[in-house]
Amino acid sequence: MDVQDIKNRFGIIGGSPLLNRAIDIARQVAPTDMSVLITGESGSGKEVFSHIIHQMSTRKHGAFIAVNCGAIPEGTIDSELFGHEKGSFTGAHEARKGYFEVANGGTIFLDEVAELPLGTQARLLRILESGEYLRVGSSKVQKTDVRIIAATNVDVYNRVKSGKFREDLYYRLNTVPLRIPALHERKEDIYLLFRKFSADFSDKYRSPGIQLEPEAIQILSNYSWPGNVRQLKNIAEQICVLEKDRNVTAAALLNYIPNESATNLPVAINGNTKEDYTERDILYKVLFDMKKDMMELKKLVAEIIQSGGNTSHIMADNPHYINQLYQEVDQTYGNEQPTLTIKKPVQNAPVDYNYTHEAEEVEESLSLIDKESDLIKKALKKHKGKRKFAAQELGISERTLYRKIKELNLN
């Protein structure tokens, strides 16, 4: 089966040389039992390639189990992967088979493998080396014959250097590296994918087809697509459902594509992807942006107070103007903003614009723990206590959120 046949079978669209190379590597390694480490940005289609490898292998009639390692709490992941004996921990009312026992003779796909705890990494290494493992709470050695395909959207080697990932496990998993190109590296494929998605959604919702004008196609191709194929598919669906004019102009398309210059997401630093910078870096980013916004607001208020001319009537006609600004700040930042003290005119009192009014800056709290706690509380409140969605909002894994809630003693 050649590359084009694989594309047809698994519904892969595109002719990018990088994409073709990735498919060719998957085709060649599939018949073997070698471990594969799939790397690529979130939403680039890593799980699709795990299916390609499994379906084209001698294990295709065996089980295929996909496990999101980042979504399983640290306290239960060993039980999920390796099983447990009755009474091995609180709540273990009966023995349970783990994924490695259920998938014996088949394939296990470990997504977000870099999120595995170090203890679980040691157990996984033993399976890769000897096919042996122990259930939680058991001393009896179990055997399994499972092919492991792992995937990650972070630089695992950086995790190795920082001591968060075992070096020996990294080299065992990375027997065959398979990199999936990001969508912005496949510019020639972007419009093809959009046409396919829009046609599918037009059929699904029984609506007329979507056509893009040349300027809109150019914008579509030049956008960076941080969410990759998943983001493109979502935007295609939005346009099919919401756009009344089925001939989409550049101006109409911009209503659906986020403004990249205004994004607050972490960016690449020194060649490392944004996924390498999670909790601490996101919090620093929030603090810096907040301080910048507050300084701009202070400057604006001071200018209004100091200036004469066209702005004098604002203070003369509305002595509560500064109070309104305070309310706007409260609505925007809640309790996050530093205190801003400004000498305000008394109602019905004359305004002297020759007097220099100064904004008194009070030192704001830069406690990382306080900010981290507040952000987590707000995310949980926004999503009504649903930790999965709160973790997505914060840009961290669900297991990391569980750990942070426990560390900060949050209810």
Q: Please check whether residues 342 and 394 belong to one and the same domain.
A: no
**What pLDDT, in 10s, does the model give residues 216-228?**
999 999 999 999 9
Q: Is residue 31 part of a domain?
A: yes
**What pLDDT, in 10s, does the model give residues 246-301?**
899 999 999 999 876 544 444 443 444 443 444 555 665 666 667 667 777 777 77
Residue of 87, 91, 108 whose CA lies nearest to 99? 108
pLDDT for 272: 44
Q: Please check whether residues 202 and 238 belong to one and the same domain.
A: yes
pLDDT for 283: 61
Q: Please check whether residues 130 and 160 belong to one and the same domain.
A: yes
Q: Please check whether residues 374 and 303 belong to one and the same domain.
A: no
Domain boundary among 124, 156, 179: 179
Q: Is residue 197 part of a domain?
A: yes
Q: Is residue 329 part of a domain?
A: yes
Q: Mean pLDDT throughout 311-338?
A: 50
Which has the higher per-residue pLDDT, 122 or 343?
Answer: 122
Q: Is residue 328 part of a domain?
A: yes
Q: Is residue 247 part of a domain?
A: yes
Q: Please check whether residues 171 and 73 belong to one and the same domain.
A: yes
The range of the structural domain enclosing residue 256 comes to 184-262
Of the pLDDT bands very low, low, confident and very high (cuts 50, 70, 90), residue 411 is low
**What pLDDT, in 10s, does the model give residues 137-188?**
888 999 999 999 999 999 999 999 999 999 999 999 999 999 999 999 999 9
pLDDT for 349: 47
Cα–Cα distance, 283 to 259 (Å, whole number): 22
Q: Please check whether residues 239 and 120 belong to one and the same domain.
A: no
Q: Please check whether residues 381 and 350 belong to one and the same domain.
A: no
Q: Mean pLDDT throughout 87-113?
A: 89
Which has the higher per-residue pLDDT, 356 or 229?
Answer: 229
Domain count, the chain: 4
pLDDT for 297: 73
**What pLDDT, in 10s, does the model give residues 101-112?**
999 999 999 999
**What pLDDT, in 10s, does the model give residues 22-56?**
999 999 999 999 999 999 999 999 999 999 999 99
